[in-house]
Amino acid sequence: MNIEDLISRIAKYISPKRLDHVKRVSEVAKSLALHWKVDSQKAEIAGLVHDIAKKMTPSYLVEKGVSHDKTFPKVFETYPNVWHAWVSPVAISHFLKLSSRDIASASKWHTTGNAKMSKLSQIVFIADYLDPERTLSSRSALTDIAYTHLDLATYCISAKALIQLVKKALPIHPYTLQCHNYYLTTISELDTKRVKSIILE
């Protein structure tokens, strides 16, 4: 896979600002993948393609030849922030001609997360949140956790995302809850206490 070629193809579908974001996410994902001994090229690619559908709509997809039932119009209406992630596997295969199921699923779960994600999916979920340009007061603590306890990092980010949604009065997708509840069961009570201040800040 020629990464430069992939980047220039992705650039046709997202804004320059978004392109910078996905490049940074891709770097973080690649570094985490190398650390956790996960396929780092898949992580790099998943980081690059995860927001491919950010500017798209169900009608745009239909116009470009995607069948209506693959465009999740209900999700678009009810969870507009989640939709671009849900439809990303379709967009990745339709527009970029990539067929990796692992990459498709890492991209699909990058916004809500899910219970029992693959390590690759957890890495992309975490990397998206840790975009170096995002202002995060807990950045160094969260980065530390991402390199030492993948499930705990997933739990923290899921809990922080939940709180943000409540603060902004946005609907909470059932998969966001599933992700939070599942990863809560994977960590110890001590770890839950340890990260409480990170989650609540």
**Which residue, 94 or 194, has its beta carbon nearer to Fe ion?**
94
Q: Spell out a b/e string for 27-38, using b for 16 or more CB atoms within 10 Å of the CB, else e.
A: bbbbbbbeebeb
As a three-state string, the secondary structure of 6-31 is HHHHHCCCCCHHHHHHHHHHHHHHHH
The reply on whether position 83 binds Fe ion by CB under 5 A is no
Lay out the site mask for Fe ion across 41-70 (x = CB under 5 A, - = otherwise): ----------x-------------------
The least distance separating Fe ion from the CB of residue 67, rounded to whole angstroms, comes to: 23
At a CB cut-off of 8 Å and minimum separation 6, what does 155 contact? 180, 183, 184, 186, 187, 195
**Which residue, 112 or 189, has its beta carbon nearer to Fe ion?**
112
Q: Compute how many residues bind Fe ion; rule: CB under 5 A.
A: 2
Residues 86-125 that bind Fe ion (CB under 5 A): none
Q: Which helix (H) or strand (E) holds 122?
A: helix 119-129
Dihedral angle sign, alpha carbons of residues 25, 30, 36, 42: positive
Q: Spell out a b/e string for 126-137, using b for 16 or more CB atoms within 10 Å of the CB, else e.
A: bbbbbbeeeebe
The least distance separating Fe ion from the CB of residue 21, rounded to whole angstroms, comes to: 6
**Contact pick of 128, 146, 149, 182 for Fe ion (by CB under 5 A):** 128
The least distance separating Fe ion from the CB of residue 44, rounded to whole angstroms, comes to: 14
The least distance separating Fe ion from the CB of residue 192, rounded to whole angstroms, comes to: 27
What gap in Å lies between CA 32 and CA 29, rounded to an integer? 5
**Which residue, 106 or 145, has its beta carbon nearer to Fe ion?**
106
The least distance separating Fe ion from the CB of residue 143, rounded to whole angstroms, comes to: 17
Interface positions with Fe ion (CB under 5 A)? 51, 128
